[in-house]
Structure 1
Amino acid sequence: MDIPLRLFTAALPALLSGALALALTGCADGASDAESSPSPSPGDGEGNGGSEEVAAFVRPEDPYAGMDAELSERLHLPVYDYRLDEYEGYVVRRAEDTLTVECLVDLGYEAEVNSALELDPLTMRAFGPQHEYRRYGNTRADIAGEHGFSLPLDDVADPYLLGGDADLREQAHSAVLSSGEGLKTPSGDTVPEGGCIGQARQRIDPDGAPAHETDEEGNSPDTPGSHLLVEELLGESYIVAVEDPAVAGATAAWEACMAGAVDGFHGTPLSGEGSDPEAAVPALECRDSSGYLDAFVAAERAALEGLIAEHEEALTARRDQLRKNLETSLDVLGW
């Protein structure tokens, strides 16, 4: 299923309540009315028989709670339609964790998925499904009022809860990240090529490049949830937009607005780090009243029009593969 964000936001309530759970279900606080059951053991499939079942992640009721559909429409860039959104990427990462842990268990290590790795509701509120709410500086007045220029960030949790002594845990980490050549596993089995994480990614995206491979320039390949070409084009459009005359004019208007609103403010429309948190709301209001936000979005859309046309075939092929990866990931999680 491929739904452009503009259509997706309008149809969201119906989709969430209907059978199209493919793109709109996932992990947050609490289970849906169909209680999440332990994920069907992917290890029971061909090539990894009889793997011990691992604990499941929990399916959320509404992963898009807190999303501002009107703001997302205003900030929408057409290239977003070719990649997974924040929630969908989360689904793929949790499926990858599940398969990685099952691989570790098959090798005889003590491991389980960290079911505390839930999708923080603040992520959708503060960043948006495409991280569009902060691409041009914070665009959410409620977030600016609550948190100023910054956000509380949780420590990155270990996705694999490893047991055993320190040596065994160190061996398990090696089995996750590499082929572990010469590593004697508790089961006596050989670590798969590319490590357990490499095997997990191949299970989700069989047509993807092996995790340990790089291209001729030394770059890593796409993972099952990523679209590196989209990120590259977004980088190009951003650079073009920064130099756009309309954006430059709006920047000057923003600076004039801030000079009258906050004494001694030295930030930019994109950043206010080090400034008084109380300036966050005026900075947002000036960004809007100066026309900065709409000028930047318009400049990026204009730049992306030609870039998308140039790369249409590759963008579409990768988008279609990502939808398959998402479907596989939902199956792995039992959602």
Structure 2
Amino acid sequence: MAMIRVPDTELERMMRRGLLLVLVLGVLSAACGSSAESVDGQDAPPPVPAAGVSLPAPAESVSPDQGPLFLPVQKYMFSQHEVFEISKAQWVMLNSCLERYSTPPVDFRGSDPAEGDSYRMSRRYGPVVRADVEKRGYHVPDSWTGAKSQDPGAPLTEKQNAVMYGSGSAPKGVPPGGCVGEAARRIAGGGDVVGKSSVAGSINIDSFNLSKSDPRIVAGFTKWSACMKGKGFDYSNPLDAVGDAAWSTPEPSAQEFLVAQADLECKSSTGLTETWVQVESEFQESEIQSRREALEGESRSREAQLKTARDILGGRR
């Protein structure tokens, strides 16, 4: 039997995180954050911080011993578990459709995320959780990238491809877009997008991009960099550290563990993580207020999609 693995897309390289597009056979995507380097196609040059700018006291402390971060817009986004549920429901619908056209089924190769970071936010500013650093350095969990997965199995047959995607050699009567398209439409309930919160994702991307040029964060980078130099490491900001090409190895090196630990300690001693969360939260809360109607519409669509997916998985549809 041919096997289809539902890929866990690797996070954007420089931050080991990014706009998570979890594709289910090419049709399912879920936006769960990004660290793209531009906003609306325009690079945002960091301004020179004003004289005397210092990091404000954060409203809440971010301890390196606590769990992952939380930002306001996440409540409007699909979690990784919810993406998994929708993926699995689409697979059920896909195989039901394949059976109608006497086509062999495909195996589901996704896995329910086991990590506690359900929105994969713990690497937004580089690692911020001590246990994460001690275990992986700058490397991300295998489940995020699909590393060490099982053998993908036999390739799809010509007929499976045709029926799944509705190509020219598909049998008569195959729905538009093939069985993949039919499954997506079933979950979407007539909507255009499956498993994706576009407005929330845009806010999430923009807040990160804009935060990097905020004077408070620029000042924080300066303090963090000075702290790192005091420990023998020369990086201008945490994104440079996490994106060091030296860490492109199958397993973390001893040097990687040392740098990642120093990075975490300097984030903690300078208050950079707290300030970064504060700056992004301010932007996100403002955007949520101004775009509430669109966000609430996405939330209704998200809940409807999840209900449909759970009904399918429970055999109620």
- Normalised by the length of structure 1, the TM-score is 0.64
Q: Is the 8 A contact 2:84 2:110 kept in 1?
A: no
* Residue of structure 2 in register with 1:268 after alignment: 237
The match for 1:139 is: 128
Q: Which residue of 1 aligns with 2:183?
A: 200
Q: Could you tell me which residue of structure 2 aligns to residue 170 of structure 1?
A: 158
Correspondence for 1:241 among 211, 218, 224: 211
Q: What number of residue pairs does the alignment pair up?
A: 238
Q: Deviations over 1:16-43 (max 9, x none)?
A: xxxxxxxxxxxxxxxxxxxxxxxxxxxx
Q: How does 1:250-261 map to 2 (within 5 A)?
A: 250-261=220-231
Question: Which residue of structure 1 lines up, in the alignment, with residue 58 of structure 2?
Answer: none
Q: Work out whether residues 98 and 113 of structure 1, in 8 Å CA contact, stay in contact via their aligned partners in 2.
A: no
| In the alignment, structure 1 residue 71 sits paired with structure 2 residue 71 | no
Take 1:313 and 1:159, find their aligned partners in 2: how far apart are those partners? 45
Task: Provide the C-alpha distance between the structure 1 equivalents of 2:132 and 2:235, rounded to a whole number of angstroms.
Answer: 21
* Correspondence list, 1:303-322, <5 A: 303-322=283-302
Q: SS at the partner of 2:157?
A: helix
Amino acid at match of 2:127: N
Corresponding residue for 1:291? 271
118 and 160 in structure 1: CA distance in 2 versus 1, 3 angstrom threshold? same
State the partner residue of 2:15: none
Residues 138, 131 of structure 1: CA spacing in aligned structure 2 closer, same or farther, 3 A cutoff?
Answer: same
Is contact 1:139-1:284 (8 Å) kept? yes
| Paired residues of 2:84 and 2:112 also in contact (CA < 8 A) | yes
Residue number in structure 2 paired with 1:95: 89
Unaligned stretches of 5+ in structure 1?
A: 1-67, 210-221
Q: Per the alignment, in what secondary structure is the counterpart of residue 132 of structure 1?
A: coil
Does the 8 A contact of 1:113 with 1:160 survive in 2?
A: no
- Deviation by residue 1:198-255 (Cα, 9 ceiling, x = unmatched): 110111121212xxxxxxxxxxxx22x1111111111111122111111111111111
Cα distance in 2, alignment partners of residues 101 and 267 from structure 1? 51
Question: Compared with structure 1, are the counterparts of its residues 79 and 291 closer, same or farther at alpha carbon in structure 2 (3 Å cutoff)?
Answer: same
Shift of 1:316: 0.3
User: What's the counterpart of residue 256 of structure 2?
Assistant: 277
| 8 Å Cα contact 2:85/2:310 also seen in 1 | yes
The reply on whether 1:180 has 2:167 as its aligned counterpart is yes
Q: Report deviation, 1:319.
A: 0.6
Q: Deviations over 1:139-198 (max 9, x none)?
A: 121121111111344349799977xxx7x7133123323x323x243xxx4221122111
**SS of structure 2 residue aligned to 1:208:** coil
| 8 Å CA contact retained: 2:187, 2:308 | yes
What's the TM-score, normalizing by structure 2? 0.68
Contact persistence 1:91–1:330 (CA under 8 A): yes
CA distance in 1 between counterparts of 2:106 and 2:118 reads: 28
For 1:184 and 1:154, the matched residues in 2 are separated by 31
**Does residue 333 of the first structure (1) align with residue 303 of the second (2)?**
no
5+ residue gaps, structure 2: 1-63, 248-254
Judged with a 3 Å threshold, the aligned counterparts in structure 2 of structure 1 residues 331 and 156 are, in CA distance, closer, same or farther, namely farther
Cα pair 2:92 2:313 within 8 Å, conserved:
yes
Q: Using the TM superposition, give the Cα deviation of residue 258 of structure 1 relative to its aligned residue in structure 2, in angstroms.
A: 1.0
* 8 Å contact kept, 1:247–1:296: yes
Counterpart secondary structure, 1:191: coil
How do residues 6-45 of structure 1 correspond to structure 2 at under 5 angstroms?
A: none
Which amino acid in structure 2 is aligned with residue 180 of structure 1?
A: S
Q: CA deviation at 1:299?
A: 0.8
Counterpart CA distance in 1 for 2:228 and 2:212 is 19
Tell me if the contact between 1:112 and 1:160 (Cα under 8 Å) persists in the aligned partners. Answer: no
Is the counterpart of residue 119 in structure 1 residue 119 in structure 2? no
State the match for 1:154 in structure 2: 146
Judging by fraction of residues, say which structure has more helix. 1
- Tell me if the contact between 2:228 and 2:266 (Cα under 8 Å) persists in the aligned partners: yes
